[in-house]
Amino acid sequence: MALQNLIHCGRVLKPHGLKGELCTLWFSDSPLLLTGLRRVYLKNPGSSPRAFNILSWRTHHGKYLVCLDKITGRDLAEKWQGAEIFVQQQYLPQLDGNDTYLFELLKSEVFLAGDTYLGTLEQIFEARGSEVWQIMTSEGREVLFPVNQQFIIDIDTDNKKIVIDPPEGLLEIYGVNIDE
């Protein structure tokens, strides 16, 4: 059964220890995401998400070690290595002020300075410790945009519009020619 409103929030990196703890990477730099969270869903490639109750969690070298019910021992934990972690949207903590969850940016229209349309933000992922946006142009070209505050001019979450000023030469690498 497919579950509605699941938000991709992280990934299981590997088992930790012998008791079934999972070393996890979360796509949030705030421990508030785990505070008060009672349930997560793990999904291996080609399978449906499976619900687990969170028994405990702690930080360890910049990652989160999570104990889940039904995962008792290293052998069971190894079966979930590489699994994607999902949370039901309704259980995400409320954000203050201008903060936004990354998933809320998906499907935003991306423009260049000068209001030239570039494409749609399709995916957000981490590569070597940096956030990268996958932008698909209307011609079907993929642009991998390295997120850095100096390259972002404006993010309007209400209107799903992002304005960027990519580093010189980036668009040319992907065969995107913008005539301004």
Sequence-ordered list of residues with C-beta below 8 angstroms from that of 31, at least 6 positions apart, any chain: 59, 64
**Mean pLDDT to the nearest integer, 159-174:** 94
**Residue-range domain boundaries for the chain:** 6-91, 102-173
- Quick one: which of 110, 174, 179 has its CA closest to 147? 110
**Mean pLDDT to the nearest integer, 11-20:** 94
CA angle 12, 14, 18 (to 5 degrees): 125
17 close to 93: Cβ distance less than 8 angstroms: no
- How confident is the model over 30-59, as pLDDT tens digits? 666 788 789 999 999 999 999 999 999 998
Q: With respect to CATH, is domain 102-173 assigned 3.40.250.10?
A: no
Q: What is the pLDDT of residue 30?
A: 62
Q: What is the pLDDT of residue 179?
A: 66
Position with higher pLDDT, 137 vs 103: 137
Residue 1 confidence (pLDDT) above 50: no
Q: What is the DSSP letter of 160?
A: T
CATH superfamily of 6-91: RimM (2.40.30.60)
Report the chain's mean pLDDT, rounded to a whole number. 88
- How confident is the model over 77-128, as pLDDT tens digits? 999 999 999 998 887 777 776 777 777 888 999 999 888 999 999 988 777 7
The full DSSP string for 89-139 is GGGSPPPPTT---GGGGTT-EEEETTTEEEEEEEEEEEETTEEEEEEEETT
Q: What is the pLDDT of residue 25?
A: 84
